[in-house]
Amino acid sequence: MRLKTIFDMDSMNKAVNLSRLSGVNFIDRTGIEATEQSSAGDWLVGFGLTGYREYFLDGKVSPEKKEKMLKMVATTIGAKRCLDLPTGGRLSVEIIGEMFISSKTGNLIISSIAAGTVLFIANKEDFKDLDSLLSDLSQVLVDVSTDKKTDFSWENYEI
């Protein structure tokens, strides 16, 4: 079955083909002040087949629209060969480069195949036992990439 092509205008005022995205993540920016370059509020970020950001909704966009678009993009990506995120986002295994615990921040990082691009950060303040989380997520990626079922739950690691 062929997917219906859906476009949306993002915060950069460009039309983006949402049906071509391979990852989407909601970024909670609670407590982060607005700057000249960035408005206050949460973000929604969509990633293309190359692993780079291709879709962006900033803090000026209503929470309702961001939630609607998150669900729409995650549904379009589908569940096969994907890693679900605790934010409601979803990443295709094809755009995940590596996972590691940052020696600088102590957070677990899921990086993109695109240079210098981060797909998801598991903050050490929000998750317990990041070493076990990294180990279990690594196994999940191996399983998902070889079309095996997994019963991984982020809730087991949330503080």
- The more confidently predicted of residues 37 and 93 is 93
In angstroms, the Cα distances linking 80 to 17, 74, 146, 150 are: 20, 11, 10, 11
- 1 pLDDT band, cuts 50/70/90, is very low
124: confidence class by pLDDT, cuts 50, 70, 90: very high
pLDDT above 90 (res 149): no
pLDDT band at 3 (very low <50, low <70, confident <90, very high): low
pLDDT in tens, 59-95: 899 999 999 999 999 998 888 899 999 999 999 999 9
Residue boundaries of the structural domains of the chain: 7-157
